[in-house]
Amino acid sequence: MKHDNDLVVREDRDGTAVLTVNRPESHNALNRGVQSVMRWHLEEIADDPGVGAVVFTGAGDDAFVAGADINELAVRTPVDGLAGPLQRLFETIATFTKPTVAAVNGYAFGGGHELALACDIRIGSTDAQFAFPETGLGIIPSAGGTQRLAEVVGQGVALDMILTGRKLAADEALRMNLITYLVDPADLLDTAMTVARRIRRKGPLATELARDLVKRSGAIDRDSGLLLERLAQAVIYSTEEKNEGTTAFREKRRPDFDLVRHDRHDRHDRHDNERNAQQ
């Protein structure tokens, strides 16, 4: 029997935290233990200045995450449905302070599909499959699936997948923009790490603000979005990050945003300490 902390394994690689759901004997189903450990890892990563991106994947070859744990699902009550712990976890991922990448190997069903949708970028292996089987169990996707799937693939495809439960193969998922990269299974994690590395080399605040603006674009009107762009750019123009980026370009060298990232984290810590001292 696995220790709880082994249910989601964290491995840091060159500034990227790889979180692997580690229940291959259960197709990496998302039981309460997995959710708790994943939440704990995310709290640690959020405060780690050495991590600039997060990759999610699943242990084994068969499944990314095959959904919720059916044994737990069978005894859930209306109170559990209203509390929505898995929805809240995936909302944490969708609004996380650092970019997220889903490396989807095998089945991404139900909650696994919703986990992938909560990530910023999705990479699928050629054996990846996506589905929402919930209505066949007499329930609905309730961890963000009804909302995020429609945002990504459109309402028509979302209704087809959710109401019929049909499986979407990897090549179809690529055509429908559900994934943005399609690779051989052997290349999946390396591709995810390459994408994460490209992101990490960019300005951290610029990345965070640009990501937030794109995610807000479907929920606000154009004029408001353009105003937020200008406000965000005004903030960035006052930062050392912008100075480092433009100076490096003129000097024909790669910008050192890691130093900027650590300085920003240190200032945040000092601010928190000062605020706590005043309370």
Q: Does residue 141 sit in the same domain as residue 159?
A: yes
Looking at 180, 200, 220, the residue that finishes a domain is 200
Task: Please check whether residue 3 lies inside any domain of the structure.
Answer: no
Half-sphere exposure of 77 toward its Cβ, with a 13 Å CA cutoff? Answer: 1
Q: Does 247 map to a domain?
A: yes
What average pLDDT score do residues 28-40 get? 93
**pLDDT value, residue 1:** 45
Higher pLDDT, residue 152 or 79: 152
Could you tell me if 101 and 210 lie in one domain?
Answer: no
Q: What's the whole-number mean pLDDT along residues 229-235? A: 94
- Residue 215's contacts (CB-CB under 8 Å, 6 or more residues apart) are 94, 95
Q: How confident is the model at residue 77 (pLDDT cuts 50, 70, 90)?
A: confident
- 94 in the same domain as 45: yes
Mean pLDDT in residue range 208-229 = 92
Three-state secondary structure call for residue 208? helix
Res 71: pLDDT: 76
CATH label of the domain that carries residue 171: 3.90.226.10
Strands 8-13 and 16-21: antiparallel
Looking at the structure, tell me whether residues 226 and 265 fall in a common domain: yes
* pLDDT reading at 175 higher than 90: yes
If asked whether residues 70 and 171 sit together in one domain, one would say yes
Look at residue 270 and tell me whether its pLDDT is greater than 90.
no
Name the percent of the chain lying above pLDDT 70: 91
Report if residue 263 sits inside a domain. yes
Pair (211, 112) in one structural domain: no
| Boundary-marking domain end, from 200, 220, 254 | 200
Please report the pLDDT score of residue 267 as a whole number: 57
- Residue predicted with more confidence, 67 or 111: 111
Please, what is the average pLDDT of the chain?
A: 89
- Scanning the chain, the segments in alpha helix (DSSP H) are 32-46, 70-73, 78-83, 85-94, 111-118, 145-153, 155-164, 170-175, 188-200, 204-216, 222-237, 240-250, 257-278
Q: Do 177 and 235 belong together in one domain?
A: no
Residues 68 and 137 reside in one and the same domain: yes
Residue 64's nearest CA partner among 21, 35, 119 is: 21
Shared domain for 153 and 49, answered yes or no, is: yes
Count structural domains, the chain. Answer: 2
Please identify, among 181, 200, 219, the residue that sits at the C-terminal boundary of a domain: 200
- Structural domain includes residue 2: no
Task: CATH number of the domain at 218, please.
Answer: 1.10.12.10
- If asked whether residues 253 and 269 sit together in one domain, one would say yes
**Domain limits at 156?**
8-200
pLDDT score for 269: 54
Most confident of 55-59, 198-202, 211-215: 55-59
Q: Are 81 and 138 in contact (CB under 8 A)?
A: no
252/255 Cα distance (integer angstroms) = 9
Q: Same domain for 182 and 219? A: no
What mean pLDDT is predicted for residues 105-130?
96
Global pTM value: 0.87
Q: Could you list the active site residues?
A: 114, 134
Q: Are residues 21 and 154 in the same domain?
A: yes
Residue 188 is assigned to a structural domain of this protein: yes
